[in-house]
Amino acid sequence: MLHLIGSVENYNLLPVVNIWDKEGDQVVAYMRGDLLFVFNFNGQQSFTDYGMLAPEGSYRVVLNTDDKKFAGFGLSDDSVEHFTQEDELYKSEHKGWLKLYLPARSAVVLKKV
């Protein structure tokens, strides 16, 4: 993750935008620039199709701590492009539902395309 954020010019100057936090699930997500950071701090529960409101568009995985190269289980197909799903309630805010697989004790970083 340090290598990733080190590759973004002026990363420390980009504002942190809170995207999602749900204490009961122990999931938090924020954006800096076009990078979306999603953390599942839950030590026991993985989430399938976990939905969060995010800026409309498509996202590609650039880092997944569950990848086998990081000693994870490699349960996600990180080549899949993720698209937000439109919701009329949030259309004026240009937000949609982004659904992801979030293994327990993992983080995923996506880049808005």
Task: Write out the chain's pLDDT in tens, 113 residues.
Answer: 999 999 999 999 999 999 999 999 999 999 999 999 999 999 999 999 999 999 999 999 999 999 999 999 998 899 999 999 999 999 999 999 999 999 999 999 999 99
**How many domains, in total, are found in the chain?**
1
Here the CATH number for the domain that contains residue 41 is 2.60.40.1180
What distance in Å separates the CA atoms of residue 60 and residue 28, rounded to the nearest whole number? 18
Q: Give the domain extent around 57.
A: 2-7+18-112
Q: Considering the entire predicted model, what is its pTM?
A: 0.94
Has residue 12 been placed in a domain? no
Residue 33: phi, psi to the nearest 5? 65, -130
Query: H/E element holding 3?
Result: helix 2-6
What distance in Å separates the CA atoms of residue 77 and residue 26, rounded to the nearest whole number? 23
Task: Break the chain down into helix, strand, coil percent, rounded to 5.
Answer: 15, 50, 35
